[in-house]
Amino acid sequence: MAVYFIDVILPIPLRQAFTYHVNKDEAAFLKPGMRVAVPFGRSKVYTALVYQVHQSEPNSYETKSIDQILDESPIVPAVQWKHWEWIAEYYMCTFGEVMRAALPSAYLLESETIITLKKDVLLDESSLGDDEFLVFEALQHQSSLHINDIRNILDRKQVLGVIQKLIAKGAVDVQEELFEQYKPKLKRYLKLASKYAEEEALRQLLDEMTQAPKQRQVLMTLFVLAASEKHIESTYLQKKSESSAAILKVLIDKGVLEEYYLQEDRVQYRGEDPSEVKALSPAQDKAWKEINDHFREKDIVLLHGVTSSGKTEIYVSMIEALLETGKQVLYMLPEIALTTQLISRLQFYFGKKVAVYHSKYSNNERVEVWQQVLQQNPKAQIVIGARSSLFLPFRNLGLVIVDEEHEPSFKQYSPSPRYHGRDAAMVLAQLHGAKVLLGSATPSMESYYNAQEGKYGLVTLKERFGKVLMPEMELVDIREKLKRKRMTGHFSDRLLEEIEAALKEKEQVILFQNRRGFAPIVECTTCGVSPQCPNCDVSLTYHQHKDQLRCHYCGYHMPMLQACLACGSETLDNKGFGTEQIETELKELFPDHQIARMDQDTTKGKHAYAKLIEKMEHKEIDILVGTQMIAKGLDFREVSLVGVMNADNLLNFPDFRAHERSFQLLQQVAGRAGRTLKRGKVLIQSYDPNHQILQQVSTNNYEGMYQEQQEERYQFKYPPHYRLIKLTIKHRNYTTMDNASKWLAEVLRLALKENVLGPVSPPVGRIRNEFITNILVKIGKEQSLSKTKNYLLKAQQRFNAVKEFSRVGLTIDVDNY
C-alpha cells in the first residue's frame, strides 16, 4: 500500500521543512501553497503551508498526521514561492520567517489549549494540591476552561506544571482547538416573504395592516425601493420608512419579511466614475516616450525627475497603457502617509480598480485584498501599498512602480526577514517578466550608479510642471544670528519675516525638525545629571503634551521630574528641541493662526494621516511642523515657504550615508514649496552654512553630490562598490556578549581576512537591557557573494553550538543600509 507524505513550511524560524503523512485522498487533493493545520511540539497546533507532496519517508524522525486541511485551493501561487525562496536565501533568514511576514496574520490560525474534566472520574480530592484543587473545582462548575481562565483563577502566568499534575492523576483532558481569525463582513438585507408573491395574498396582507400604520408604511417603502434596487439593506429600509428596528423585527417574526445576508468587502470605492487621464506636458510626454524606449531593451528604468515635475502623471499614463493588456500593477510607496494622498488621485482616474495594502489596515481587510489579488479580481488590478505589498499573490504582474525609491523606509530592519522593498520588488518583477519603474528627485547612490553603468535605463526630467521655477534657497547662519541677538527661541529673524509674509498672503508654511518630542535632553544645571532610561544607554526625551519623560527605544516612561534625582535641585533645563517645542513656540508667536504637527506621536490612529493631509489641503492649517514624514512626496498646492529648523543634526550622524541622506531629505523637504504658479522659498538654518552638502542642496547639485560621495565610497570600500552584511550580537551580560563577538569576529577573519570590521559598539550600546555590538563584513565585486554567505551560515552554526553562547542573540542583516 502506497504511503504519502507532505513537506510543510511552519511560520517559525526553522531552516528545514517538516514532513507529515497523509492518506491517498488527502495527497490527491493537496497542492503546494495550501494551508494545513499540523501538530508540532508537545501540544501546539500550527498553520503550515504545503511545500510538496511526495512518497519519501524521512529517516531521522517518525512522521505525524495532519490535523485538517484549511483551504480548497492554494493561497500562494508558484511564482510567489520562488520569490519567497529568493528572499530567504538572499537575506539569510528562514522560509518560516518569510511566510510569517508575508501572510496576513488572519491566515495564521492560532490554536488554543482547552482543559476539560475526564468523564466518570473518581478522584480523592485530598490528593490534590491547593492550585490543583482550585482548577478541579472550577471544572465541576464549567464544562471546559481555556488556559487563560486557569491563569486568572490561579493569578499567575506559569500554569503548565499544575495542568501536567492533573493529567498525571487522570483528572483532566487537554485538547488544542483551532480558531479561524478571518471573519467575512456580512450585511443584512430584507425582502417580502415568498408567500406574498401572489397579488391576492398581498392585497389581503395590506388590508390586515390598516390597524398597524407603521408596519404598513414599512411595506409601502419596500415596494418603492424594490422598483429601483435589487437588494434592500435593513438599515436603509428603516431610515427611509422612518421606522425602528423593533417594527422590522415584528414583521420578520410574523413572516411578512424575510432576512438574508450577503458578504461585502470591507474596503470599497464609493466615489464618482473615473475621469479621463490628463494630457502630459511636452517635457512629461518626452520622458514617457523615453521610458517606453528603454523598456524595449531593459527591464528597469530610473526616472530622475525634480520635485513637482509631475512624475505621478507619468506613472498614471504608464498604468493606463498597461491596464488595457489586463495585467496587474504594483505601486509601492515608502510611507503610509503618502498612500492616503495618492489613493484619491489614482481612484480619480481608475475608480474601483485600485486596492490598498499596508500595515494600518486590519487583518480582515488585508485578507480581502489578498483574495482579490489572488483571484485577479478587477477591484485589485492596481495595488498601492508600502513595502509589505510585494508579498501579495500576484498572478499576472505587468508593471512595478517604486516611487521615492531612495527612501530608507523601504528597508525592513526588524524583525526578520530584513529585506529591502525596492530590491525585492525588482526580483518579483523579473519572475513575472514585468517591467520596473523607479522614481525619485534624489535617487539612491546604488540606483544612480546602476543607471550610469548601463544596468538600468535613465530618464531625467529637470523641468517642474507648468514651468514653475525651483524654490529659492537661503542658508541662515544661526551662529551669526545668536551673536547679534536676532534669534527668537529657535527662530531666526529671517525665518520669522518670511513666515509673517507668507501668512499675510494667506499661504501655508511647512517647518521641518527631524526630532519628535519637546526636548531630547533634560539636564540639571547644578550638577549636570540628566535622567537616563533604566533599560537603554540613552537619555529620556521630554514630551510636554503628556508631561512625561519617554525613551524612544524601549517605550519606558516616567512623569516629568520636579527636581534633580541626583542632587535634589529644582534647576532642570531643556537641551535641544523637537517638533513639540517648535509647535509650542509657534502658538505663542502666531496665536491667531492654525498650527498642527505631523510626527509619530500625532499619527498613531488608522486615519490620522488622512485627516491631517485633508486639513492641510482644505487650508484649515496655516503652519505644519513635522519630522521626515512631511518630506516624502506630499503635494500641498498652497505651501509657499519651507523652513528647516536645524540642518546640522542630519549632517553629523555616524553613518556612511549621512551626507547622501541629508542631501535627499533637505531636497525633498525643499520640494514641498511653490508647487503651483508662484515660486516657493526655502530657508535652512545651520551653524555651518558653508558645509559642502548644504551648498549642493542650495544649488540643486545632485550630480556634484553623487560624484563626491561615489569617490569617497570607492576609497573606503562602501556601497555601491562593495556589499555589506552586518552581524549584531546581543546579550544581557556585557562580558558574555563581548566574548561572543570577539570569538565570532576571529572565526570570520580566518576566511574573510581584512574585510571584517569590528566588533564595535553602536552609538546606543544597550537597548532593552541587552548590550549590543556589531561586526561588519564587506564583500567586493571580485568576491563570491554566495560563498561568503555560506561561510557566514557555517560560522553561525558553530557559534550556536558553543554552550557558553547558547543564549546570545545573533542577527544577520544583508544590505543593512
| Ramachandran quadrant class, 48 (left: phi over 0; alpha: psi -120 to 50; beta: rest) | beta
Residue 358: is its pLDDT beyond 90?
no
Query: What mean pLDDT comes out for the span 37-49?
Result: 78
The larger pLDDT score, comparing residue 514 to residue 710, is at 710
Q: How far apart are CA 795 and CA 190, in angstroms?
A: 66
Q: How far apart are CA 520 and CA 796, in angstroms?
A: 38
* Residue-level pLDDT at 184: 62
Query: What mean pLDDT comes out for the span 476-490?
Result: 90
pLDDT band for position 159 (50/70/90)?
confident
Query: What mean pLDDT comes out for the span 117-139?
Result: 80
* Residue-level pLDDT at 271: 52
The larger pLDDT score, comparing residue 700 to residue 426, is at 426
Query: What mean pLDDT comes out for the span 337-356?
Result: 80
* Residue-level pLDDT at 7: 92
Tell me the H-state helices in 95-212: 95-102, 130-141, 147-154, 160-168, 199-208
* Residue-level pLDDT at 602: 82
Residue 410: is its pLDDT beyond 90?
yes
pLDDT in tens, 684-740: 999 999 999 999 998 889 999 999 999 999 999 999 999 999 999 999 999 999 999
Which is it for the CA torsion 713, 717, 722, 724, positive or negative? negative
Q: How far apart are CA 684 and CA 495, in angstroms?
A: 9
How far is the CA of 563 from the CAs of 517, 547, 549, 570, 575, in angstroms?
Answer: 20, 14, 13, 4, 16
Percentage above 70 pLDDT, the chain: 94
* Residue-level pLDDT at 338: 63
Residue 243: is its pLDDT beyond 90?
no
Residue 109: is its pLDDT beyond 80?
no
pLDDT band for position 185 (50/70/90)?
low
**171-185, 561-575, 780-794, range with the lowest pLDDT:** 171-185
pTM for this model (two decimals)? 0.80
pLDDT band for position 200 (50/70/90)?
confident
**148-152, 327-331, 477-481, 757-761, range with the lowest pLDDT:** 148-152
| Nearest alpha carbon to residue 723 among 669, 773, 797, 792 | 792
* Residue-level pLDDT at 245: 84
The larger pLDDT score, comparing residue 766 to residue 612, is at 766
The larger pLDDT score, comparing residue 418 to residue 270, is at 418
Mean pLDDT of the chain: 86
Long-range contacts of 161-166 (CB under 8 A, 24+ apart): 162/129, 162/131, 162/132, 162/135, 163/115, 163/135, 165/129, 165/132, 166/115, 166/128, 166/132, 166/135, 166/136
The larger pLDDT score, comparing residue 659 to residue 271, is at 659
| Cβ–Cβ under 8 Å, residues 71 and 116 | no
pLDDT band for position 426 (50/70/90)?
very high
Strands 328-332 and 382-385: parallel
Residue 756: is its pLDDT beyond 90?
yes
Residue 762: is its pLDDT beyond 60?
yes
| Cβ–Cβ under 8 Å, residues 386 and 332 | yes
Chain-centroid distance of CA 4 in Å reads 40
Tell me the H-state helices in 618-680: 648-651, 658-670
pLDDT band for position 177 (50/70/90)?
low
* Residue-level pLDDT at 189: 81
Q: How far apart are CA 760 and CA 727, in angstroms?
A: 11
* Residue-level pLDDT at 111: 59
Tell me the H-state helices in 227-335: 234-240, 245-254, 282-295, 311-323
pLDDT band for position 607 (50/70/90)?
confident
Residue 479 main-chain phi, psi, to 5 deg = -55, -45
pLDDT band for position 45 (50/70/90)?
confident
pLDDT in tens, 375-389: 988 888 999 988 999
* Residue-level pLDDT at 268: 55
The larger pLDDT score, comparing residue 172 to residue 701, is at 701
Which is it for the CA torsion 271, 272, 276, 278, positive or negative? negative
**452-461, 664-673, 801-810, range with the lowest pLDDT:** 664-673
pLDDT in tens, 246-289: 888 888 888 888 887 776 654 554 555 566 777 888 889 999 99
Helix axes 658-670 and 702-716, enclosed angle (nearest 10): 160
Three-class SS state of 356: strand
